[in-house]
């Protein structure tokens, strides 16, 4: 742990990231770890350099989304593993958007992985590790007050726009956006409540398949022990044109 990290007050620690108090009120510092977990913490490991790459990849994608008018929590990247973000109240819902069948959808409904969906599907999961993030419907979300119907509409339309934009962006670098997970937060601005994209967008929470070979270029390589995990994250960064000079050296230095 470096000096910059230890002198800040730790606000929250998740499986892949740590949040620290930011320099200004209403800001946080988001630190990206190399730790990887799967199946709700059952499988644990390290992906060397992942934090450095996810910091860059998420920065790149959030900036691009900001340019098309999607409000995000991202402010600026501070160093190899940290970015400054706006502090939001996280809505306890994981939004999954799917274009191609994979993962839990393939398992739950017995549809072969790789089946192209007739249209994009949005699913909601209640963010609660102790329960294994159970799937919920909009009815549960509004009845239990996790989000109101207006907020949920906004979350749906932002998620679909993000899907349209990112599908095109990834296709441009030879990757199919199979599915991904988003998290949103609330931000008060001059008495107005905004829904803001939060968390991260990276190969940790997207499925990305090579257009030509269908090779998996995301955390499924870790989940399924497919090997070449680090290489997949590096390849995504390379294709986006944001591969840092020497990610392994930097990763070790900052670890």
Count of chain residues binding ligand TMP (CB under 6 A) = 12
- Kindly give the interhelix angle for 247-254 and 50-67, rounded to the nearest 10 degrees: 110
According to CB under 6 A, which one of 167, 202, 205, 234 is a site residue for ligand TMP? 205
Q: Which is nearer to ligand TMP, 22 or 72 (CB)?
A: 72
Q: Which is nearer to ligand TMP, 36 or 251 (CB)?
A: 36
Strands 74-77 and 82-86, bridge-based pairing: antiparallel
Asked if 244 touches ligand TMP (CB under 6 A), the answer is no
- 3-state SS of 41-94 is CCEEEECCCHHHHHHHHHHHHHHHHHHCCCCECEEEECCCCEEEEECCEECCEE
Alpha-carbon Rg for the chain, nearest whole angstrom, is 18
Asked if 199 touches ligand TMP (CB under 6 A), the answer is no
Site pattern 83..122 for ligand TMP (x: CB under 6 A): -------------x-----xxxx-----------------
> Which listed range, 44-52, 138-146, 177-185, 239-247, lies at the site for ligand TMP (CB under 6 A)?
177-185
According to CB under 6 A, which one of 33, 77, 181, 216 is a site residue for ligand TMP? 181
Q: Where are the alpha helices (DSSP H) in the chain?
A: 3-7, 50-67, 103-109, 138-143, 149-171, 220-223, 229-240, 247-254
| Token reading at 112 | 């072969």
In whole angstroms, how far apart are CA 126 and each of 46, 113, 145, 147, 197?
26, 24, 12, 11, 17
Write down the least CB distance from residue 175 to ligand TMP, Å: 13
Asked if 197 touches ligand TMP (CB under 6 A), the answer is no
Q: Strand, helix or coil at 115?
A: coil
Asked if 50 touches ligand TMP (CB under 6 A), the answer is no
Q: How many CB atoms lie within 10 A of CB 5?
A: 15
Site pattern 128..157 for ligand TMP (x: CB under 6 A): -----x------------------------
According to CB under 6 A, which one of 206, 229, 236, 237 is a site residue for ligand TMP? 206
Write down the least CB distance from residue 113 to ligand TMP, Å: 10
d(CA 116, CA 114): 6
Residues found near ligand TMP in the complex (CB under 6 A) = 96, 102-105, 133, 179-181, 205-207
């Amino acid at each position: 742990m470096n000096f910059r990290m230890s002198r800040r007050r730790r606000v929250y620690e998740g499986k892949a990231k740590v949040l620290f108090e930011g320099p200004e009120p209403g800001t946080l510092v988001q630190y990206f770890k190399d730790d990887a977990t799967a199946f709700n913490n059952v499988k644990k490991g390290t992906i060397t350099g992942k934090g450095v790459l996810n910091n860059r990849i998420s920065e790149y994608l959030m900036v691009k989304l900001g340019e098309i008018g999607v409000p995000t929590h991202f402010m600026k990247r501070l160093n190899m593993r940290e970015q400054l973000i706006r502090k939001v109240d996280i809505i306890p819902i994981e939004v999954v958007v799917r274009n191609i069948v994979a993962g839990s959808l393939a398992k739950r409904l017995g549809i072969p992985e790789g089946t192209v969906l007739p249209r994009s599907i949005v699913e909601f999961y209640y963010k609660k590790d102790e329960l294994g993030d159970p799937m919920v419907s909009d009815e549960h979300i509004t009845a239990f007050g996790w989000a109101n119907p207006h907020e949920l509409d906004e979350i749906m339309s932002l998620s679909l726009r993000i899907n349209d934009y990112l599908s095109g962006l990834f296709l441009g670098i030879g990757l199919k956006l199979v599915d991904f997970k988003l998290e949103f937060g609330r931000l008060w601005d001059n008495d107005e409540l905004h829904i803001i994209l939060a968390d991260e967008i990276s190969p940790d929470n997207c499925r990305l398949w090579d257009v030509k070979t269908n090779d998996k270029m995301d955390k499924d390589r870790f989940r399924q022990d497919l090997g070449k995990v680090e290489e997949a994250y590096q390849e995504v960064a390379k294709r986006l044109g944001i591969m840092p000079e020497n990610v392994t050296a930097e990763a070790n230095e900052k670890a």
